[in-house]
Chain A
């Protein structure tokens, strides 16, 4: 009898809690509807037009407006590149819930994780709305350069990269260290598109990409091989994984830890509200972000433009992944720095 009374009491309390939550949610939704109605919601891409970050941001932006209460007009703007953009956006973006920035995990988190001097922002100050994981990167290699990759008596295989951190750089460095790849980085291309062009004209022999369209196109032309995939991809089943290529040469210890921590590999393209944004705006946008991710239109567009491996990650989980990506032991940071220096990769330093 006592237990039954207890049960009824607990059920009543739970039901009341659900009703209160639903009421609060309805009030919140109504307030959000009022707030966003007729406004312009800006998605600022911390990257140049046409690359992976930009494409991801635009695919999301295309459907996001329909899921935000009040259906604001969504516009997309490009601003700077990763670190420099984050440096500025941290201080200049108004925390009014109407502007969200989109960053690449590697480009914006890598320099923070290894405590690079040029960084003047803290990703954990931002309100993380969610992220899109496009699937692992695949390394693309010119067939004619394959022999040189393992022969250090010949000119090195050139790898095209941008100036910011990229997880593909980590794969190449691991190849250089563990497999003895004969490689040389050519850094500084302003965007992924410029790397593809450089590959097209023979200036670089190798690059990494997670974008299915690009991988398919180059492989289809016949002069290119998909050398390896970071991990298995359902849309490129025949491409060997990094672990398979490494075989018994898979390193342990600091080198492997450095590879795993390099460029915050667990976070791909993330959407964030500027520091000091109100919690209610963050909640509204998190919900609408995930509603967008679940919509059939978005799923189809994402599969077409980002690849079948593209998966959404909610705000809380993305935040946790970012938190984890930023906490790297000092000896691992030191190893990453040493490797970056060895391969001529920038450290994002400043004169200050």
Chain B
């Protein structure tokens, strides 16, 4: 095994594969930083080129592109509250308030350090989890995945401290929005108001832009200020961010494990890893009331999770030959095209390639973070730009991102309509994160409920995993109530 590990690294450290890795990382970061461009869409476009490469070059290039998007997408999430991709939405909740407080450099730096560590932890688990992989995946069927989605939605109570009823309502509203369009299971078209455009549903890119980005732009234009209006940009922010990550190393490890877990479980999707980690942090860390106001832990948690997920994602792809999500499916096609044989045998027949993938994952994370650190200072200057420049810039970026999602002009109108709702939610103190989470988890919730009933009728309710997750959900609701009651008693 040691020999295979060394051989995998040696293959990768040649000038040509290394060059492809650097190019892949640069493209992955670029795609991640531009909302709506990165992720599977970017991978799909680049795949035909990678399929013509030698195996080691293809591994280096594809892993570079696929694994660093969640590092690059932090820039816009933190600086202007525009989610760069589906994996960086939760980062906005504390990252943007930090930027407004003049701590953009600290937030970005903590994010990149957490991303790097999370990515490395994910790569480590990619190999370490092989012996327990099969029982792990087999223990989660459709009923358990359905309960997971319910748990995710129930965490809105945690995400919206002080307004759990509003949070739950927003979450349910998000689930309702996710039902727009043609139901693929039955063919029924729902809530399309006679518009063929709505048959494919509403893109999550549009929802997150309209709920986070546009309301913040409107607020900025209204107050005629800058992003960072409270204090000047601190010069020590970069080191402080790195220190923050190591101070909260336990949180980094825990949230990385959450990310790996979400990655391993095919069917939950990459966009929930950051939310699960954020909710976990909020639920388990001391002084949770500071989350959402610019707490660096609210940046570290999702960022370590969404990069660790990349390693987890590759586990079923490589060792079962079955991808859990779109990006993993595209990677699988690329790997197969250049001669890899993902599946249970890969561990015996192509171990050096598995190690090359693991090393590529580690190197990509390190390289991506270094590149991003280099851009922190110029990027953070965005926070002190006048609203005259910034507002049109963000609006243009948002419109471009909305259009890039499907190249449909109707998306622009949808963005504007949803933005009105996002602005009203912000103005009247309705939590917006649960709404977005509802839109993300709604289709999965519906799918797994459908499959559970189709397979087990009502018998799925008695599955041990379902009962255990049911208790976890009850605990999720009960814990904050118990914690508050205990705090009140202590105060009295």
Contact = CB atoms under 8 A, between A and B. Distances in A.
Interface of A: 48-50, 54-55, 58-59, 61-62, 65, 74-78, 80-81, 83-84, 87-88, 91-92, 111, 116, 118, 120, 158, 163-164, 185-191, 193-194, 196-198, 200-204, 213, 217, 221, 301, 304-305, 344, 346-352
B21 interface: no
Nearest to B316: A197
B329 interface: yes
B266 A197 contact: yes
A220 B326 CA distance: 26
A349 B187 CA distance: 6
B186 A163 contact: yes
Interface of B: 40-41, 44-45, 47-48, 51-52, 137-142, 181-182, 184-190, 196, 199-200, 266-267, 316, 320-324, 326, 328-330, 332-333, 336-337, 343-344, 408, 447, 450-451, 454-455
A203 B137 contact: no
A242 to B, nearest CB: 26
6 contacts: A49-B329, A50-B329, A58-B48, A75-B48, A213-B336, A305-B336
Contacts of B326: 48-50, 78
A202 B456 CA distance: 12
B129 to A, nearest CB: 16
Contacts of A348: 187
B189 A200 contact: no
Contact of A346 (B186, B324, B343): B186
Contact of A87 (B138, B196, B454): B196
Given A83-B182, A164-B184, 11 more contacts: A49-B326, A61-B48, A62-B51, A62-B52, A76-B44, A163-B186, A188-B454, A193-B266, A200-B138, A213-B321, A350-B187
Contact of B187 (A59, A83, A189, A193): A83
Contacts of A164: 184
Contacts of B199: 84, 87-88
Interface of chain A: mostly helix, strand, loop or mixed: mixed
Contacts of A193: 266, 322-323, 329
B266 A58 contact: no
A88 B200 contact: yes
Contacts of A77: 41, 44-45
A349 B188 contact: yes
Contacts of B181: 84
A75 B141 CA distance: 35
A111 B186 CA distance: 12
Closest 4 CB pairs of A and B: A50-B329, A348-B187, A188-B185, A49-B329
A62 B48 contact: yes
A55 B321 CA distance: 14
